[in-house]
């Protein structure tokens, strides 16, 4: 079991399986060559208008973004990089849209993480909170009893004359209070919600709430994960609000007395003196239907849950290539269905980011590796069945080509606004330090 003192600085994010990724990547290279020679028995490709809008060209200005960007109310894109900056601890950046058609996005560095009492290595996307402030978390730094620091929650508050004021609003200063913050943040009624992938009373991670108290902020643990059949372990996904006002998320492990392959959970906030209450909606097993979910889930207006697993399913990968799943409630029972299994070839493998709906009920996402051009990943769309009982149809919108002209290894999810999508790639671009892209189907 992973303890709260584990640090991922300078290596793979906590929970990665590097050997499995290398083996699948090698397989994907061969598969990509074959894909150029052999016909593909899959849904047709559908081109998207794809554009690399920013390349990270030097470490000082940030490198290797691993989470989604957010489009704030001011029309700007904001994001974080896990590495880079003066000390290599990561950055917060802004991209201003072009003033003319096909013009350049303007990049501004908003904060460089300094380590120590400041955070290091942000592994969550930003969220727009009260007063137009941007909130995020760091996996480490901030001090505390964990190796390298237990992590922080930070705020970028807008200034009247333009720009932002950065400050750390909460530090995970003890392992029992949670450690290793990561995943998506959620906002409601002026409060911020998120997860830590480790720490807490049972060392299995936490769900936390941050609320304003006077001129400061106070953090409360809503749930501490303990594992076993009735609880998950190691939530890396963060949380999202469903239409019922509850929080939903995933855990990478748990759901079984022998450790488990992960869960989907629902956390009902306190109401009428009752709660908060956490319920396991689904337990993953090593049965071909996906394992180890690490991405946030997505819910439709009816409360149906959609998500991805980076492993399990079918395909040519050593740990299998991942899935897209659907959880629907009927008669008080949640039923899981796999709506897509990645092949580790032209369709991609190892999806790590959240899915996004468009107005027509189609799902969009990324696979972090494989694809027809080798091992650089794909941008895909899943079209819902035309009739009841039918299958979802996968369509490849873009196959990442890698450096120097394209991104590679999209880890984060997508952000949608209107008919456009934005995302990041951890690697690729001219210097191999990652990119930000836009796509219009």
Q: What is the pLDDT of residues 110-131, one digit of tens each?
A: 999 999 999 999 999 999 998 8
pLDDT band at residue 374, thresholds of 50, 70 and 90? confident
At 325 the pLDDT is: 97
Closest to 413 (Cα-Cα) out of 16, 52, 68: 68
For 276-303, give the DSSP string: -EEEEEEE--SSSS-B---SPPEE-TT-
How far CA 266 is from CA of 16, 200, 239, 302, 345, in Å, comes to: 24, 18, 9, 15, 34
Q: Give the mean pLDDT of the chain.
A: 89
Nearest CA among 60, 58, 196, 185 for reference residue 133: 185
Residue 211 above 60 pLDDT?
Answer: yes
Residues 61-73 as b or e (16 or more Cβ within 10 Å = b): bbbbbbbbbbbbe
pTM for the model: 0.89
CA pair distance 87, 104, nearest whole angstrom: 28
Burial class (CB in 10 A: 0-12, 13-18, 19+), 385: exposed
Average pLDDT over residues 192-197: 97
Average of pLDDT values for 161-180?
91
* pLDDT above 70 as % of the chain: 89
d(CA 414, CA 394): 17
Percent of the chain with pLDDT over 90: 78
Burial (CB count <10 Å: 0-12, 13-18, 19+), residue 108: middle
| CA atoms within 13 Å, Cβ hemisphere of 213 | 9
pLDDT of residue 287: 79
8 Å CB contact between 56 and 65 = yes
412 to 36, 79, 92, 126, 245: CA distances (angstroms): 27, 11, 15, 12, 25
Residue 97 burial class via C-beta count within 10 angstroms: exposed 0-12, middle 13-18, buried 19 and up: middle
Is it the case that residue 44 has pLDDT exceeding 70? no
If one compares 374 and 13, the residue with the highest pLDDT of the two is 374
Instruction: Please state the rounded mean pLDDT for residues 211-224.
Output: 94
Digit-coded pLDDT (tens) for 66-100? 999 999 999 999 999 999 999 999 999 999 999 88
The per-residue pLDDT for 36 is: 36
Q: What's the confidence (pLDDT) of residue 21? A: 41
- Flag whether pLDDT at 26 surpasses 80: no
Find tokens 């994001």 and name the residue.
79
Q: Is the pLDDT of residue 166 over 90?
A: yes
- Which pLDDT band, with edges at 50, 70 and 90, does 335 fall under? very high
pLDDT for residue 173: 83
- Name the pLDDT band for 5 (thresholds 50, 70, 90): very low
What does the pLDDT look like over 245-300, one tens digit per residue?
A: 999 999 999 999 888 999 999 999 988 777 799 999 999 997 789 999 999 999 99
Alpha helices in 341-400 (DSSP H): none
Average pLDDT over residues 351-368: 96
pLDDT (average), residues 291-319: 95
Q: Are 65 and 121 in contact (CB under 8 A)?
A: no
Please determine, for residue 24, whether its predicted confidence score (pLDDT) is greater than 70: no
**CA gyration radius, the chain:** 20
Whole-number pLDDT of residue 46:
65
Q: At 146, give phi and psi (nearest 5°).
A: -85, 155
**DSSP states along 150-175:** --EEEEEEEPTTSSEEEEEEEE--SG
Q: What is the pLDDT of residue 87?
A: 93
């Amino acid at each position: 079991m992973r303890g709260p003192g584990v640090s991922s600085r300078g290596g793979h994010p906590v929970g990665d399986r590097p050997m499995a990724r290398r083996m699948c990547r090698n397989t994907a290279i061969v598969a990509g060559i074959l894909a150029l020679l052999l016909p593909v028995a899959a849904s047709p490709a559908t081109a998207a208008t794809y554009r690399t809008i920013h390349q990270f060209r030097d470490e000082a200005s940030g490198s290797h973004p691993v989470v989604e960007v957010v489009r704030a109310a001011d029309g700007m894109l904001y994001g974080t990089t896990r590495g880079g900056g003066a000390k290599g601890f990561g950055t917060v950046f802004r991209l201003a849209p072009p003033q003319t058609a096909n013009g350049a996005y303007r990049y501004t560095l908003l904060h460089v993480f300094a380590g120590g009492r400041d955070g290091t290595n942000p592994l969550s996307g930003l969220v727009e909170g009260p007063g137009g402030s941007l909130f995020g978390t760091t996996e480490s730094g901030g001090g505390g009893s964990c190796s390298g620091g237990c992590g922080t929650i930070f705020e970028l508050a807008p200034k009247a004359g333009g720009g932002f004021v950065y400050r750390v609003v909460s530090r995970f200063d003890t392992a029992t209070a949670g450690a290793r913050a990561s995943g998506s943040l959620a906002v409601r009624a002026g409060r911020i919600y998120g997860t830590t992938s480790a720490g807490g009373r049972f060392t299995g991670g936490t769900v936390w709430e941050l609320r304003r108290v006077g001129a400061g902020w106070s953090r409360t643990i809503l749930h501490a994960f303990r594992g076993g059949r009735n609880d998950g372990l190691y939530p890396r996904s963060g949380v999202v609000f469903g239409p019922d006002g509850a929080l939903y998320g995933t855990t990478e492990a748990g759901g079984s007395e022998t450790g488990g392959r992960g869960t989907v959970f629902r956390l009902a906030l306190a109401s009428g003196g009752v709660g908060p209450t956490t319920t396991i909606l689904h337990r993953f097993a090593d049965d071909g239907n996906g394992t180890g979910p690490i991405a946030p889930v997505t819910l439709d207006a009816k409360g149906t849950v959609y998500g991805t697993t980076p492993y399990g399913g079918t395909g040519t990968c050593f740990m299998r290539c991942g899935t897209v799943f659907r959880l629907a409630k009927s008669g008080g029972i949640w039923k899981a269905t796999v709506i897509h299994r990645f092949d580790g070839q032209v369709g991609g493998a190892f999806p790590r980011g959240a899915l996004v709906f468009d107005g027509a009920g189609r799902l969009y996402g990324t696979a972090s590796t494989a694809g027809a051009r080798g091992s650089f990943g794909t941008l895909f769309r899943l079209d819902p069945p035309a009739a009841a009982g039918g299958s979802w149809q996968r369509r490849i919108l873009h196959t990442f080509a890698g450096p120097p002209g394209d991104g590679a290894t999209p880890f984060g999810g997508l952000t949608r606004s209107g008919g456009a999508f934005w995302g990041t790639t951890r690697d690729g671009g001219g210097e191999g330090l990652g990119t930000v892209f836009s796509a219009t189907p």
